[in-house]
Amino acid sequence: MCEKWLMENAGAPIKYILSTDKKYIPDVLENFEVKYWLAKLKNRADSKDLSSIHGSHDYRYENILGKCATLGLSKDIPEFDENIKFVLDFLHGHIENKDVEQEPLSFGKIYAYRDYETIMACFLPMLGYHDDLAVKYITEKRINIAYDFTHQKRYDIYIDSANLKGVKREWKSHIINPELYADGNIALPSAHDYILFAGMYKYLGKDFQEKIENIVEWLYCEEYSRLPPRYGYFYAEGGSYNAKAVLMTLSLMNYAVYLLYILSHFKTSQKSDWFSMAMAYLDGFKTPDGTYNFPSDMLTEKPDNYVINGGYMNVGENKRSKKYREILSTYWMYRISQNLI
């Protein structure tokens, strides 16, 4: 029922996502949101600009690609595909360059792996590039690294930082153990990892899928709930910084709709008490007609936000439409439900 209602009431991006009918592509490309974000990607492509990857601004690479994924753009749309090739070319060159492996631990080395691999690749499977060799390499690498940590069921991730030089007082209790990123690769699974795994899951073999399920299970242990929400700090001697804030893990409290969509890709999530309670909560917003109408703060769409935190939830709909919230609510609930076993 929901799909039929959406096909009758939603705009071109949602119709294209649900039907994959190429007849909608011209209208998708004329959508105001698609134009805005595709123009930002084209500007990056034209200038081969790979700076400003992580952050909350509209010009940040992760938000551009994250929003393009939300809007249903993919390699099947030539106007999008031709502007993403410079990113894929960079990733191929990056994973073939082994010089960074020989460098001592530094923030530059951490960012070379986090920003130039995990963050740059995380939305690419959802954009249709699941079969790209660089995307496969980065996905398998991140699965193995995160699994090696999570299968130990460890939550002792902080160290006594009393004697560390240059660490701000307010950071001292949240310095992540350098053993967890000694070679520059971060063992802790991040929000970007879960997005990457969600997009790649159905294209992976059983062994990798089972490792992902273990990584997801780490979120649902009681010890995880005792960790500070979302943030920890790295430490590396030398350089201009001795500690730097970083998004550590998914929060299980905020941005429920987008978070549920990502986690709905995993069997372990679907079987968890938290997921069941969250789904029951969303189901409370079901209308007598079988559609949904979430509160507006669950459908955030604001400039300079974070896609990964559910800050860009619109899918090309007109905010002035009386059915705006109903369309988006019904769409996201439908997408979540479609992933369930």
Q: What is the pLDDT of residues 98-128, one digit of tens each?
A: 888 999 999 899 999 999 999 999 999 999 9
What pLDDT is recorded for position 336?
A: 97
Bigger pLDDT: 248 vs 246: 246
What pLDDT is recorded for position 247?
A: 56
What pLDDT is recorded for position 171?
A: 84
Helix (H, G, I), strand (E, B) or coil at 176: strand
User: Per-residue pLDDT averaged across 56-76, rounded?
Assistant: 96
pLDDT digits (tens, 9 = 90+) for 21-55: 999 999 999 999 999 999 999 999 999 999 999 98
pLDDT digits (tens, 9 = 90+) for 191-247: 899 999 999 999 999 999 999 999 999 999 889 888 877 678 899 887 666 776 665
Does residue 251 surpass a pLDDT of 60? Answer: no
Domain range list for the chain: 2-338
Helices marked H in the chain: 2-9, 12-19, 25-30, 32-47, 61-70, 78-96, 107-113, 120-121, 133-150, 191-200, 206-217, 222-225, 256-263, 267-270, 273-283, 324-338
- Within 13 Å of residue 85, how many CA atoms lie on the same side as its CB? 8
What pLDDT is recorded for position 66?
A: 98
Could you tell me if 332 and 257 are in contact, meaning their C-beta atoms sit under 8 angstroms apart? yes
User: Per-residue pLDDT averaged across 282-293, rounded?
Assistant: 95
What pLDDT is recorded for position 162?
A: 84
Reference 91, options 63, 132, 55, 144; nearest CA is 132
Share of the chain above pLDDT 90, in %: 77
Does residue 84 surpass a pLDDT of 80? Answer: yes
| CA dist list (Å): 203 to 53, 129, 136, 153, 212 | 26, 11, 10, 26, 13
What pLDDT is recorded for position 291?
A: 97
What's the pLDDT band for 164 if we cut at 50, 70, 90?
confident
